[in-house]
Amino acid sequence: MSIKKKFGFTLAETLVALAIIGVLASIIIPSIVNSYNKVVLQVKLKKIYAVLSHISQYAIADYGEMSYTDFYDGSSEKVQEWFSNYIKPYLKIDKVCYDEEGCWAKNVTHLNGDSVSNLTARGIGGNIVTFRTMDGTLFNADGNVPADLDNLFGIDSDVDALVLHIDLNGFKKPNVIGKDIYVFVYTNKGFVPAGNDRDKEFVEQECSEDGTGIMCASKIARNSWELGEENL
């Protein structure tokens, strides 16, 4: 008479197997999520830069040369006029805020962890336009003088220009310049990343754990739109 043996797992063996699976999942899943988030941000950042560049071309065709300095006189009204003529017609905008709350995240920090010193309840700067596009991206447009363009944004200019802070994932965290917020400047060269007129070493220092993160868009653009570890 033959005896059939039954093979199976004991409760202890099953628990051990589940524990191993749990450990592997805790290691693998965050890596997969980070890789996915990285690709999403890279694609969106590159797309936004392309859109901004095309907007300037469309506006030139419709209104003539895009001269921001023709509008800017230090007042909110002129920034709004520039936005209404040269930006608003070309984007699908969900909400616009003229010097008021509702279109920009609070508690924004630099890449090195420092708070953005001139952050107001409405957005970054004083005479500003903030707006949200239909996909949830936040934009902050603010006029800046040549000294600030040079010292803060790495742009050589002898005239005032418009600075755009763009929060790729809207109100979601981390709300950090250099991670989900990137900076572009509209000059007579069109839309360029902040740091466009600085060398590689300077830009990389600004886009590091010890830097402000303001020039990260320039570093990423020069690196074929590949985000670094400091941007994640």
State pLDDT tens for residues 69-83.
555 566 777 778 878
Q: Is the pLDDT of residue 3 over 70?
A: no
Given its phi and psi angles, is residue 136 left (phi above 0), alpha (psi -120 to 50 degrees) or beta?
A: left
Compute the mean pLDDT over every residue in the chain, rounded to the nearest whole number. 82
Determine the pLDDT at residue 79: 75
Q: How many CB atoms lie within 10 A of CB 32?
A: 10
Q: Is the pLDDT of residue 194 over 90?
A: yes
Q: Is the pTM of this model over 0.85?
A: no
Q: Which residue has the tokens 């570093």?
A: 219
Determine the pLDDT at residue 73: 62
Dist. CA 159–CA 144, nearest whole Å: 9
Determine the pLDDT at residue 215: 97
Percent of the chain with pLDDT over 70: 80
Q: With contact defined as beta carbons under 8 Å apart, do 122 and 171 qualify?
A: no
Dist. CA 34–CA 159, nearest whole Å: 41
DSSP 8-state assignment for residue 154: -
- Split at pLDDT 50, 70, 90, the class of 201 is very high
